[in-house]
Structure 1
């Protein structure tokens, strides 16, 4: 387990490997089916209860995604958009979809979010052999995170400090110049 607040892996936009989730889910459903068949042979099998128990892995994934997006959605969505805009993701050829509905990804970067000083965050870019790894991500991140300040800090590793913009004075509108 990593010590990061959140790790945004471009290969797995949902944060879970589709293959691992599929194996776990299929194994669980086979065990539930066997349990239901033996319970039915004895005379105590309930199809409704078996379907509810079989749905546990999907409910667990849904709760995980809800928690992850509720807590870190403010950074996950802009970073995913940045990866697509900078073309840091290489999809498998020929294209095919995973069980989660997105195309299979061969190579993609990982972004790690850590806490920093005074309520700020440190975002670290790890290329992992992705295409276009030398693209300047600063303008793209600044455009995606409008309500945050994005400040580059790393020289060798691409690291950015992300903090809430401070409200200094009032916002000037075009009516002020009429």
Structure 2
């Protein structure tokens, strides 16, 4: 049995660093599960862009399906799976929008093509053909030619503020190890669960 740190963010930092060197690509890829106002779930892969004691941050089009679901039901579940290490981390929590300053700062360091794409795409909406999207990309490429690309008003970030974090370690005979952190006031209560 491993020694558990008091702080789950410290624990996550250790595992994330190891995954960053062992995973073939995108150690920051995580499944994001949301649900609409009626409780119907939806899941997709997004990329973790920041983690600190406030929570786990990702960015997206706020008018997308995930954005609409988070507006209706501001709770989410994240799951990291690092097959190379036989590990996963599951995170439950409330979701809060990041500040405009945080969204601006991150948008400014995105590749220019991704910035243009944020303007060109009506994410999650029907598309008649690929040429329409490519035409919109050309339109916004021309519009911002020679200048900075501002952040669209419909593009921002969300922070999942965890109330529970589970660290899962694969073991032989399916006798896995599961370490649970539950928010307890300003700290964390630690426990284990049967596999």
TM-score (norm 2): 0.26
- Higher fraction of helix: 1
- TM-score (norm: length of structure 1): 0.28
- Greater strand share, 1 or 2? 2
